Amino acid sequence: TNTNTSWSIYKVENGCSFNTNKLNVKLHLEILVAGVISLNVLVAEDNLFTIQQYKHILEKKGCKVTIAHDGEECMQKFDDAFLRLDPALVESGPFDVVLIDNNMPKKNGAEVVKEILKRSPKQRIIFASAYNIGSILNASEAVMGDVEILQKPFSLNTMIAKIQTKK
C-alpha cells in the first residue's frame, strides 16, 4: 500500500483533471456541477432559435423535451399528456415543469397558464419572458401566485439552475 499518494487538481479547458502517480482521470466540470437532471419538460416558445437552444441544452442534461410553438399547441400537448396521466398525479400535472413564454401566437402564455392550473393546480410552471413580468402578474395575480419567473434575457445555465431547483 502506498501511503504517500498525493493528489493534484488542475483546471484543463473547462474540465478538471485529477492526477496521481498512477492515475489520470479527466472529468468535465459541467458534469460535476450540473449532472443529468432527467425531467419531462414542456417548452412553449414561438422563437425557433430559442427553441433550438432550450431543446439542445435540456436534452444534453437528459430531459425529455416536448415543444409547442404557440399557446394553442401548448394546450393540445398538455391535454394529450394529461389524458394519459395516472389519476393519482392529476394535481401535479403530466410534466415535471412547463417552461413557457408569454408573447406567443394564437394564445398568450398567461392564458395558457390559467388553463393548465385549472386542470393541474400543482403543475410546476416557469414563466420565461422578455416582457414586463410585473404587468403580466398583475393582470392575472390570483392564478400566477405560484408560477416561477425567469426574466429574459438569461443564460442557459441560469435556466438549467432554475429548472433543477424546486421552488
Q: Positive or negative CA dihedral for 56, 96, 15, 24? A: negative
HSE-CB for 58 with a 13 A CA cutoff: 24
Contact 44, 72 (CB under 8 A): no
Is the model more confident about 118 or about 68? 68
Cα–Cα distance measured from residue 24 to residue 31, given in angstroms and rounded to the nearest whole number: 17
Peptide bond into 153 cis (omega under 30): yes
Amino acid letter for position 15: G
User: For the ranges 77-86, 87-96, 143-152, 156-165, which has the lowest average pLDDT?
Assistant: 143-152
Q: Could you tell me what percent of the chain has a pLDDT over 70? A: 68
In this structure, of 6-20, 83-97, 100-114, 140-154, the range with the lowest mean pLDDT score is 6-20
Measured CA to CA, the distance from residue 104 to residue 112 in angstroms comes to 10
Range in 53-57, 135-139, 154-158 the model is least confident about: 135-139
- The model's pTM is 0.73
